[in-house]
Structures are given as structure tokens and as C-alpha cells.
Structure 1
């Protein structure tokens, strides 16, 4: 089962996702990230530290939201700690596309000082 919790901290929206992200439930993560984008210039962290599995559906959601965020001059960072999930990013080359952190604190520090995309 997948769950997502959206909260704000220091002007950053954090979407904490828990469980397995696959083709049957990726829409739940998409909806949570969409609500996080809101109407302002978004600074979003997808905390995936409690995600134990992710397939291409989940990656597709994240790539789409990264594009949306950048088009609006914002930033999207990820927290990924599960080795199997990290491997999915590495195998697909998406580890070079996303800002991936091993802890929420480092993601908050990085996104707090990041210049908006132009």
C-alpha cells in the first residue's frame, strides 16, 4: 500500500511517500506532488526514504513533476535511501538528472540555498 503525506517546513513543501510505487498506485504520488506544486514558485522535496520499490511508472511521475517544477522556476529534490530504489535511478541514468540526497536534512539545506531555475 502506498501513502503520501504533504507538509511544509521552512518554506519548502515536503511530500513523504511510503510503500511501493508501481503502475497500480503511481497516480497517488502524482496527486500528492501536484498538490505540492500549488500556485507559487515551488520548492519541493519528495522524501522517498520509506519507499521500498519503484518501477518505471513512479519514475515517470517524478520526471514529469521535475519538468513542471523547472518550468515554474522551482526546484525538486529527492531523498532516497533504499538501495534497490537508488539502483533504479542509477540504471536509468536519472541519478544524473535529479538532486538525490540520503537524508531530509541535507535536502532541506541544499534546496534552501538553490537558485531558482531560469
Structure 2
């Protein structure tokens, strides 16, 4: 994340479509990334979570913390829509 910030990239999409399993370490990385980006004036969104990971996000209530999208295309559009309204 810090490397992205050094390159002035503050809008991050984490594509989880290839992730089959996630534990507390993975959740911690996502939370840390979100915190880092938001502290720098940016954001981090997730997309492509399978049913198991989505259930984990619901159980941990992190589903309310992250903006999440079904597809990468929807996540990209969310940033494009934000740019139009700014």
C-alpha cells in the first residue's frame, strides 16, 4: 500500500475473485490496507468475494466497513462515478 501511495495511487481495488479461503490474517491485511488508504485521503474497495468470504465479512460485520462489488467492472465504475461527482 505504501508503494502505491508513493506513486500517488490512492484508489485501490482488491479483487478477491481468485481467493478461495480467508482467515483473520487476510481480514487484518484488508483492514490495514483500508486504514492506510483512508488516512492518506484515498479508499480501498473489494470485489469478487465468493459466498464463503462474503459470509465471513457478514459475520465479522466488516461488510458494513468495506464498499464491495460483485465484479471488477462495478468497482472501477464506482471510482469513475465518484470522480464525476467531485
TM-score for both structures, normalised by structure 1: 0.64
> Where does the alignment leave 5 or more consecutive residues of structure 2 unmatched?
none
How many angstroms does 1:95 deviate by?
Answer: 0.3
Structure 1 gaps of 5+ residues are 1-32
Aligned positions of 1:79-94 closer than 5 A: 79-94=47-62
Tell me how far apart the structure 2 counterparts of residues 112 and 73 of structure 1 sit (CA, whole Å).
16
Choose between structure 1 and 2 for higher RCO, CA contacts under 8 A separated by at least 6 residues. 2
> SS in structure 1 opposite 2:21?
strand
Q: CA deviation at 1:38?
A: 3.2
Cα shift at 1:40: 1.3
- Assess if the C-alpha contact under 8 Å between 1:41 and 1:72 holds in 2: no
Cα separation, partners in 2 of 1:99 and 1:39, compared to 1, 3 Å: same
Q: Which runs of 4+ in 1 moved over 4 A?
A: none
Q: Which has the higher strand share?
A: 1
- TM superposition shift of 1:41: 4.8
Higher helix share: 2
For 2:49 and 2:29, how far apart are their aligned partners in 1? 19
User: TM-score if structure 2 supplies the norm length?
Assistant: 0.86
How far apart, in 1, do the equivalents of 2:43 and 2:35 lie?
Answer: 10
Give deviations 1:21-78, integer Å, cap 9, x for gaps.
xxxxxxxxxxxx4443434151110001110000010000100110100011111110
Following the alignment from structure 1 to structure 2, what is the Cα–Cα distance between the partners of residues 98 and 48?
Answer: 13
CA–CA separation in structure 2 for the residues paired with 1:83 and 1:64: 23
